Amino acid sequence: MLFLLLQLHIPIPEFSKLTESLNKHAEIVHDLALHFGHHNDEFAEPARFDVNDKRSKLHAIKGKDREQKKEWGVKSFHNGQSTKMPRSERVASLQANSSGKFVGNLKDKKYPRLSEEIILDVRWLPLLDYLSTFGIKESHFLQMYERHMSSFQMTVCVAQERLEYLMSVGVKHRDIRKILLRQPQILEYTLENNLKSHVAFLTGLGIPNSRIGQIIAAVPSLFSYSVENSLKPTVRYLVEEVGINEKDLGKVIQLSPQILVQRIDISWNTRYMFLSKELGAPKDSIVKMVKKHPQLLHYSIDDGLLPRINFLRSIGMKNADILKVLTSLTQVLSLSLEENLKPKYLYLVNELHNEVHSLTKYPTYLSLSLDQRIRPRHRFLVSLKKAPKGPFPLGSLVPTDESFCQNWAKTSLDTYLAFRQRLLLKKFAEKYERKM
């Protein structure tokens, strides 16, 4: 070093000042590198976020973070201790620092609302760009962040692995957005110990591969339940306590996947006791209802089951008749009173001239569309003068269009479809005129 000073003609006292100045600058550069240097971790550092306060504290947190950034020259962010970095990392950190303003402008430009609402880590940008390909917008990202912030800390490769697996088992591309909004933590579930094990569980219940994706889209929260401690006990309860045959489990779950993630013991017992007391329904009848329409276990008693039972009573049906209808066509309990059940009943008695007891023989009538099936077929037979005198035969409403034309109307299918189209257009015009 002394030889170098002599060559450069630098006096010894001046060299001491130069050395001291370089050391100070080295400390500042070192702390800059520690603060802005990249991490090799798979996950980004989680931002501070209180899920209880949700978005109300986001701006306060963002302001606090900016204040901390002003203190970059005081301490290292690694527990406040000074540590030495290899030369290659110091160079990379300084390069990252020099382009920090560009990266900050990039995230603000690409996701301005998100940057305004939360402390948007630039390391999340590749993941956000990838998830955007599924139709996820900034408002959706905010929902995901509030529901499960740490899901943003996944790398693109990890997220892609999870989502591509879901699509490989039948989840539609268009359903990924819905799944992530409802269950963003699905990005964190491991492939082998979670996703694949749950899919294997569904397959073991007899659910065909073609329906696996639909079930996942319907209840993505399925993956948050333990197969051994939650899902299998639910299935055992359905078999041992409710009385569903094992061979029927796959069908029941396809009809209502939510049955796997609810407190099945409470749902079953409350509805079993209600139907037993209200209608005198035996257990085997209620089991038949659950097999045909397991959504029954989700319906509210006060707002769903009871009002519809009371409606059937109000039109003259006895408990025994109501039980026959519900056992045969349990989905009656899901139909709207004002838009479905009442209009069909009025058409039954006023236009078809049938008594209410005919519903016990043809409960399917209540599930048919008034505009698409009941009214067109009735009016078509009347126009052909083939409608019998007296009560209109409800049996003519049940078969397919082809069978109806062949066995009842004795005409071509095209003739009937053209008549139905004219009737629908006329009804639409009348409805439009009333609105005007």
Domain borders along the chain are 1-98, 105-198, 225-298, 303-367, 369-436
Has residue 313 got a pLDDT over 80? yes
pTM of the model: 0.69
Count of CB atoms situated within 10 Å of the CB of 238: 24
Kindly state the tokens that stand for 269. Answer: 């017992």
* pLDDT for the residue 392: 95
Has residue 359 got a pLDDT over 80? yes
Measured CA to CA, the distance from residue 356 to residue 237 in angstroms comes to: 38
Measured CA to CA, the distance from residue 1 to residue 20 in angstroms comes to: 15
Name the DSSP letter for residue 373: I
Q: Could you give the C-alpha distances from 282 to 298, 362, 363, in angstroms and in order?
A: 20, 22, 20
Q: Could you give the C-alpha distances from 11 to 3, 23, 224, 418, in angstroms and in order?
A: 12, 19, 72, 107
What would the DSSP string read from start to end of 85-122? --HHHHHHHHHHHHTHHHHHHHHHHHSHHHHHHS---G
CB 416 within 8 A of CB 378: no
Name the DSSP letter for residue 37: P
φ, ψ of residue 141 to 5 degrees: the values are -60, -35
Exposed / middle / buried, residue 115 (Cβ in 10 Å: 0-12, 13-18, 19+): middle
Question: 42 Cβ partners below 8 Å, 6+ apart?
Answer: 155, 158
Q: Could you give the C-alpha distances from 401 to 181, 227, 318, in angstroms and in order?
A: 41, 45, 33
Structural Rg of the chain based on CA atoms: 34
Measured CA to CA, the distance from residue 38 to residue 34 in angstroms comes to: 8
* pLDDT for the residue 426: 86
pLDDT tens string 77-123? 333 333 444 444 443 443 444 444 444 566 667 788 888 888 888 88
Measured CA to CA, the distance from residue 254 to residue 257 in angstroms comes to: 6
Q: Mutual orientation of helices 264-279 and 306-314 as an angle, nearest 10°? A: 20
Exposed / middle / buried, residue 171 (Cβ in 10 Å: 0-12, 13-18, 19+): buried
φ, ψ of residue 60 to 5 degrees: the values are -65, -40
* pLDDT for the residue 109: 75
Name the DSSP letter for residue 245: -
pLDDT tens string 126-145? 999 999 999 999 899 888 98
Question: 59 Cβ partners below 8 Å, 6+ apart?
Answer: 117
Measured CA to CA, the distance from residue 190 to residue 158 in angstroms comes to: 9
| Greatest mean pLDDT among 12-16, 115-119, 381-385 | 381-385
pLDDT tens string 208-264? 999 999 999 999 999 999 999 999 999 999 999 999 999 999 999 999 999 999 999
Has residue 52 got a pLDDT over 60? no
User: Using a CB cutoff of 8 Å and minimum separation of 24, what contacts does 409-418 make?
Assistant: 409/380, 409/381, 409/384, 410/386, 411/384, 416/376, 416/380
φ, ψ of residue 393 to 5 degrees: the values are -70, 110
User: In Å, how far from its chain's centre is CA 127?
Assistant: 20
For residues 356-367, give the mean pLDDT.
Answer: 94
* pLDDT for the residue 279: 96
Has residue 199 got a pLDDT over 90? yes
Measured CA to CA, the distance from residue 216 to residue 196 in angstroms comes to: 12
* pLDDT for the residue 154: 87
